[in-house]
């Protein structure tokens, strides 16, 4: 008699926990208000049995709480990009 083994493997992709930071002293390029910008970074992971194994990509943007304008990629000022890079490393 042979030994039959059934093994189920759960894998896929899913977003990780979002990180947020307030950008104190950085003005919004659109409404020029200071202290209203928030930076968000959320990574997407390959997971195996719901355990993150490898980071695929990151979604990062800055949003003004006053005028609701969002900035990402090349729209971000150097100070915004610096804050986003710092969040990505955490």
Which two tokens mark 81? 């990009």
The full 3-state SS of the chain, as one line of letters, equals CCCCCCCCCCEEEEECCCEEEEECCCECCCCCCECCEEEEEEEEEEEECCEEEEEEEEEEEEEECCCCCEECHHHCCHHHHHHHHHHHHC
Q: What is the pTM of this model?
A: 0.71
- Residue 3's pLDDT is 74
Which pair of tokens denotes residue 14?
Answer: 């899913």
Domain extent listing, the chain = 14-89
Task: Look at residue 83 in the predicted model and tell me its pLDDT.
Answer: 87
Average pLDDT by consecutive 10-residue portion of the chain (90 residues)?
75 85 91 92 87 86 94 90 84
């Amino acid at each position: 008699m042979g030994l039959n083994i059934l093994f189920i493997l759960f894998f896929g992709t899913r977003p990780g926990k979002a990180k947020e930071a307030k950008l104190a002293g950085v003005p919004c390029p659109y409404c020029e208000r200071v202290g209203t910008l928030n930076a968000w970074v959320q990574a997407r992971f390959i997971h195996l049995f719901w355990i993150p194994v490898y980071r695929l990509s990151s979604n990062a943007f800055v949003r003004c709480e006053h005028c609701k304008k969002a900035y990402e990629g090349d729209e971000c000022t150097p100070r915004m990009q610096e804050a986003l890079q710092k969040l990505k490393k955490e």
